[in-house]
């Protein structure tokens, strides 16, 4: 982590105002009650550390999609009580993020309280990366700290321009995230395996093209595996029984050729679970690839032979990076393959034999469903930023914090 500035690099913070860019974009129900506090809870250690160092902490974040106009449904006021509860300190909410109200609130801050400012995205200038808006934002601050890795792939004003206006550093969560991802993909212990799932090859081209040059073994799963199966000569896969993308067959062949040239072993299904209907507990059976029914059945998961094959390959590895489930995990029993491979990876992790890094919305849900979310080395809460990191792209909100 020596290449990035951390809180340790900021020196004495006693009496200083620190503007903390957090990600408090948490899910809420129709009554605007928070349904999952994970993002709030994960930024609390940074707030506590800054307060222990004597800093006055001003928290900024986006929330929902207000599209540049104030609207109460997307107000961060709904989050203040949950932040207060998780932090154990009084949180004062300010119904703007720039201007006189904010300046007065900072002047009147008590040492043991935190300010939470209104949604950054109430201003169009935030998403445009506007420098003048960033200057207004940090006007009240002495120091800037970013803990919002999940937004680091966006060059928004609060992520990039604001960091250039003040001494800046990563918060604990950002530091933890970048450290884990670097160990997982940039400087991994080998052999390195990646599991990539998703419904369409076309949505993960950049990811696949990057991974085949970096990993030793690549498990292609979910609906996107159907296109690779067809490209590798499994004629029983068709548009009636699978999510095969016929217009991506040649692309899949090119990716497989690149993998071969780079010594990357691609692992595809050996057997599949097919179902009569796309619903939970529908009639289903496990079949070898040559016996996939031409129509009337849908590919929903991979079978026992595939699970055993993936787990055997995992036993040979030191590092696993995971993005995407193996099957339709939302519908039982088609979560079986995801659950069993995840459980095996978790067991190896707990035994100190494997470093496991996972991320992406569906992946987090799938691993929670498998009951292993606390047994992996690191699970990222970031969606797009995690994916772009895996694609080998530089993230503006991380690059700006380089030493």
Burial (CB count <10 Å: 0-12, 13-18, 19+), residue 378: middle
Return the pLDDT at 334: 97
pLDDT confidence tier of residue 384, bands split at 50, 70 and 90: confident
* Lowest mean pLDDT segment, chosen from 8-17, 64-73, 102-111: 64-73
Q: Which two tokens stand for residue 220?
A: 């292609």
Tokens 């199966």 correspond to: 229
The residue assigned the tokens 């787990």 is 311
Phi, psi of 79, rounded to the nearest 5 degrees = -95, -20
Q: What is the mean pLDDT of the segment spanning 191-205?
A: 92
pLDDT tens-digit series, residues 303-346: 999 999 999 999 999 999 999 999 999 999 999 999 999 999 99
pLDDT digits (tens, 9 = 90+) for 47-56: 999 999 999 9
Q: Which two tokens stand for residue 218?
A: 């690549």
Pull the structure tokens for residue 240: 């009636």
The packing angle between helices 224-231 and 249-261, to 10°, is 80
| Active site residue ranges | 39, 200, 361, 384
Find the radius of gyration of the CA atoms of the chain: 23
List, in order, residues 6 or more apart from 302 with CB less than 8 Å away.
221, 225, 269, 270, 271, 272, 273, 326, 327, 337
The percent of residues above 90 in pLDDT, for the chain, comes to 86
Q: What is the pLDDT of residue 2?
A: 67
322 forms bridges with which residues in the sheet? 195, 358
State whether residue 163 is helix, strand or coil.
Answer: helix
Look at residue 170 and give its three-state secondary structure.
strand
When pLDDT is averaged across residues 180-196 and rounded to a whole number, the result is: 92
DSSP 367-380: HHHTT-TTTSSEEE
pLDDT at 67 over 80: no
Query: Percentage of the chain with pLDDT > 70?
Result: 100
More confident residue, 34 or 67: 34
Residue 1 binned pLDDT confidence (cut-offs 50, 70, 90): low
Q: Degrees (nearest 5) of the Cα angle 51, 54, 58? A: 55
Residues 82-141: tens digit of each pLDDT: 999 999 999 999 999 999 999 999 999 998 999 999 999 999 999 999 999 999 999 999
Quote the mean pLDDT of the chain.
95
DSSP output for 210-221:
HHTTT-SEEEE-
Q: What is the pTM of this model?
A: 0.88
Q: Give the C-alpha separation, 317 to 395, whole Å.
A: 28
């Amino acid at each position: 982590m020596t290449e990035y500035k951390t809180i340790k690099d900021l020196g004495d913070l006693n009496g200083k105002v620190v503007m903390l860019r957090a990600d408090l974009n948490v899910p809420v129900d129709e009554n605007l009650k928070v349904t999952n506090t994970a993002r709030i809870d994960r930024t609390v250690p940074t707030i506590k550390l800054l307060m222990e160092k004597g800093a006055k902490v001003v928290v900024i974040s986006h929330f929902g999609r207000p599209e540049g106009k104030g609207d109460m449904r997307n107000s961060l006021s709904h989050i203040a009580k949950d932040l207060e509860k998780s932090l154990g300190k009084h949180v004062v909410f300010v119904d703007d993020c720039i201007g006189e109200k904010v300046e007065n609130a900072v002047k009147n801050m008590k040492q043991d309280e935190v300010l939470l400012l209104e949604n950054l995205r109430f201003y169009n200038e935030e998403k445009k990366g506007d420098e003048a808006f960033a200057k207004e934002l940090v006007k009240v601050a002495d120091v800037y700290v970013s803990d919002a890795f999940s937004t680091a792939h966006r060059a928004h004003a609060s992520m990039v321009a604001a960091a250039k206006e003040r001494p800046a550093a990563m918060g604990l969560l950002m530091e933890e995230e970048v450290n884990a991802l670097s160990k997982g993909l940039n400087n991994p212990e080998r052999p390195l395996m990646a599991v990539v799932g998703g419904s369409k090859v076309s949505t993960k081209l950049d990811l696949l093209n990057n991974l085949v040059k970096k990993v030793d073994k690549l498990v292609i799963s979910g609906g996107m595996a159907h296109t690779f199966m067809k490209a590798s000569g499994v004629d029983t896969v068709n548009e009636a029984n699978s999510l095969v993308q016929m217009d991506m067959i040649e692309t899949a062949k090119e990716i497989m050729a690149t993998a071969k040239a780079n010594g990357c072993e691609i692992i595809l299904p050996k057997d599949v679970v097919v179902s009569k209907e796309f619903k939970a507990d529908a009639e289903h059976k496990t079949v070898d690839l040559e016996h996939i029914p031409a129509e009337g059945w849908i590919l929903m998961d991979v079978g026992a032979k595939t699970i055993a094959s993936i787990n055997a390959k995992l036993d040979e590895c030191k590092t696993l990076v995971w993005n995407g489930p193996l099957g339709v995990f939302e519908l039982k029993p088609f979560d079986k393959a995801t659950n069993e491979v995840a459980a095996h990876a978790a067991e190896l992790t707990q035994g100190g034999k494997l470093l496991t890094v996972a991320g992406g919305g569906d992946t987090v849900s799938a691993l929670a469903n498998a009951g292993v979310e606390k047994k992996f080395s690191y699970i990222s809460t970031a969606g797009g930023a995690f994916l772009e990191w895996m694609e080998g792209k530089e993230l503006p909100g991380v690059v700006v914090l380089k030493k």
